[in-house]
Chain A
Amino acid sequence: MNKWQDNRAWFLVMPVFLIVAFSAIIPLMMVVDASVHDISGPGNRVFVGAEWFKEVLGDRRLHDALRRQLTFSGLVLLIEIPLGVAIALAMPRRGWGVSVTLLVLALPLLIPWNVIGTIWNLFTRPDIGLLGVLLNGLGIQFDPTAAPLDAWITVMLMDVWHWTPLVALLAYAGLRAIPDAYYLAARIDGASAWAVFRYIQLPKMRGVLMIAVLLRFMDSFVIYAEPFVLTGGGPGDSTTFLSTYLVKLAGGQSDLGPAAALALIYFLIALAVCFAFYRALQNVGSGDQR
């Protein structure tokens, strides 16, 4: 009797199992498979062991891409988190202004990623772009297609414009959860505006800010569409990030092996960072919220 009921449970788990298998495990295994073989054509494959991994790990262009990637993600966090918090602090707390600000903030988040790249490409082009023409008209040389620094500035501007609202919204949600009594008590206690921020607002925002850091790090770490559409990874390799490089590598048919090896390494780095953040988040949860 019991045995039969136990077995039936498998049917209920099966759909989830299949979905996970087809969406994650099987593709991943195929990548693993490709990373240890030399595949030069259909039916023509040789086992090469860790060959591709050695090649990829020793690849100078990969090192450069990784360095660029970390710089980019670091800058993203350094700029977007404080800026998002500042915006959240400046947002109205009640009245009609609330919905207007929320709407304006949500707009960049609703635009498809490749469209974002196109928008900023058009915006900054020195020949026809509003910003490009304006800056050059003012006598400031600005050309993201030619100068690496300008390309970086543009990519950063684009990401800040695109994603700071997310941080701001999260921070705002954290701020809204603070009961009014805290602000009143702080006034009675004679706290300065800085003390209110340091001892009330920041601690209460800590949970959501950890989530914001996690989301922004992961998203910026795997960024592809926007910079690809905006700069195509150039000029030169100056805005080639990890995923841009990965696609460049996999684009050449014969480089499937190294690309697969790189993809795995990339995946493991992302997983490791995710895990670190996850642990950090758990500590925040247990140590702080009552």
Chain B
Amino acid sequence: MALIQLKGVAHAYMAKPGAPEDYALKRLDMVWQDGRAYALLGPSGCGKTTTLNIISGLIRPSEGRVLIDDRDVTALAPRDRNIAQVFQVPVIYDTMTVFDNLAFPLRNRNVDRKEIRIRVHEVAELLEMTADLKRRASGLTADAKQKISLGRGLVRKDVAAILFDEPLTVIDPHLKWLLRRKLKQIHEQFRTTLIYVTHDQNEALTFAEQVVIMNEGEVLQTGSPQELFENPKHTFVGYFIGSPGMNLIPCQINGDAAIVEGAPIALGEGVAERGRAAGGELVLGIRPEFLRLRPTAEQGNVPVSVRLAENLGNFKIVTVSLGRLALKVKVPEDQEVPGEWAYLNFPPEWTKVYADGRLVE
């Protein structure tokens, strides 16, 4: 049980980094609260594994400090930190039995035999693998092997956090949710901090209490799935979370409104002013779920032409054109979609403005 802090951590794989692009992980300040389940979500190559490996000590960061419970562990080897890690490929020691596999981290730490027996049996019980304890681990299926990898983390009593690096990639789809449920159950039972790397947003959103969005070596936002959905702090978050992602359209500010393709769109209290002050490239963002499609003109609505309506079962995705721009609108299944012309309503509370990618708050 522990609080993990990253203070000014940055990492470059090359010896003498210069430009910001040299850094696989740009300056990161972050606190991982004790006992929570985090998902680390981002596209390939954004630095998720790097972040994880810095926490576990597999990588020593080029800059900054790692603290576990206020103890500086930056210079400590993985075996001297109480962090466990599970990898994408299930790792098992082929020549050992399941029991020996689970006992391995304890034996390496000179735990006494009786204690090992007790711990291993507890963990096997938890993972429903007691019957397999005497079997050779090499003959097991991929999901059983991944359970053993997890078990080697759980077996250590002092473990402060378990890190998962896309642990379900090689597991059959129908076994995936079983394992994920097991993980959730273990988390609820023991309240160990979990950090779970994935680039599958469904996995992240269903699994985690807190989702951390990364892109190009930076953490862009940390929040609950709902926060990420309702209030993306960055255009990347808006676009990356949700399907389809947030509509992002270039705009200018004039008076109290944003101007898109010549049409004024009302903004929330003070947003226009702060947007003007922020300067830079301005983008208006709104989720397809929050746009309203109307058949007739009303005050403040914007006329658009309807291009395409896709029925996806419970809802429809309608693509409309606003001048040269295309927007997506999510409408209920039973709503009639106008044939050619329609009017879009932008509720001001859901209409966000981003300056150089960052939310104007």
Question: Which residues does A use to contact B, with CB under 8 Å?
Answer: 179, 181-182, 184-192, 195, 199-200, 203-204, 288, 290
Is B87's CB under 8 angstroms from A195's CB? no
Query: Interface readout for B81-96 with A: 1 if CB under 8 Å, 0 if not?
Result: 0011101110101111
Kindly identify which residue among B53, B85, B139 contacts A185, using a CB–CB cutoff of 8 Å. B85
Min Cβ gap B168→A in Å is: 14
Known: A184-B87, A195-B108. A190 touches B94 (CB 8 A): no
Is A184's CB under 8 angstroms from B96's CB? no
Known: A190-B105, A195-B108. A200 touches B85 (CB 8 A): no
| B78 beta carbon closer than 8 Å to chain A | yes
Within 8 A of A (CB), among B64-92: 77-79, 83-85, 87-89, 91
Min Cβ gap B13→A in Å is: 12
Q: Which residues of A contact B79 (CB under 8 A)?
A: 187-190
**Contacts beyond the supplied A188-B56, A189-B108: 18 A-B pairs with Cβ under 8 Å:** A182-B91, A184-B91, A185-B152, A187-B79, A188-B58, A188-B78, A188-B83, A188-B105, A190-B78, A190-B105, A190-B108, A190-B109, A199-B93, A200-B93, A203-B95, A288-B138, A290-B138, A290-B139
Within 8 A of A (CB), among B132-174: 138-139, 149, 152-153
Is B105's CB under 8 angstroms from A189's CB? yes
| B104 beta carbon closer than 8 Å to chain A | yes
Is A191's CB under 8 angstroms from B58's CB? no
Q: Which among B58, B93, B109, B139 has the greatest number of chain A C-beta atoms within 10 A?
A: B93
Among residues of A, the one whose C-beta sits closest to the C-beta of B91 is A185
Q: Which among B84, B85, B95, B139 has the greatest number of chain A C-beta atoms within 10 A?
A: B95
Q: Give 10 A-B contacts (CB < 8 Å), ordered by A residue.
A: A179-B89, A179-B91, A187-B58, A189-B79, A189-B104, A189-B108, A191-B104, A203-B93, A288-B94, A290-B139
Q: Which residues of B contact A184 (CB under 8 A)?
A: 53, 58, 85, 87, 91
- C-alpha spacing A18/B152, complex, angstroms: 59
Q: Which residues of A contact B152 (CB under 8 A)?
A: 185, 189
Among residues of A, the one whose C-beta sits closest to the C-beta of B155 is A189
Is B94's CB under 8 angstroms from A204's CB? yes
Min Cβ gap B88→A in Å is: 7
- C-alpha spacing A200/B139, complex, angstroms: 16
Q: Which residues of A contact B108 (CB under 8 A)?
A: 189-192, 195
Q: Which residues of A contact B139 (CB under 8 A)?
A: 290
The 3 A-B pairs with the shortest beta carbon distances in the complex, nearest first, are: A190-B79, A185-B91, A190-B108
- C-alpha spacing A290/B104, complex, angstroms: 20
Q: Which residues of A contact B53 (CB under 8 A)?
A: 184
Kindly identify which residue among A185, A187, A200, A203 contacts B77, using a CB–CB cutoff of 8 Å. A187
- C-alpha spacing A188/B109, complex, angstroms: 11
Among residues of A, the one whose C-beta sits closest to the C-beta of B145 is A290
Known: A199-B95, A203-B95, A204-B94. A187 touches B78 (CB 8 A): yes
Kindly identify which residue among B87, B93, B105 contacts A181, using a CB–CB cutoff of 8 Å. B87
Among residues of A, the one whose C-beta sits closest to the C-beta of B53 is A184
Among residues of A, the one whose C-beta sits closest to the C-beta of B163 is A188
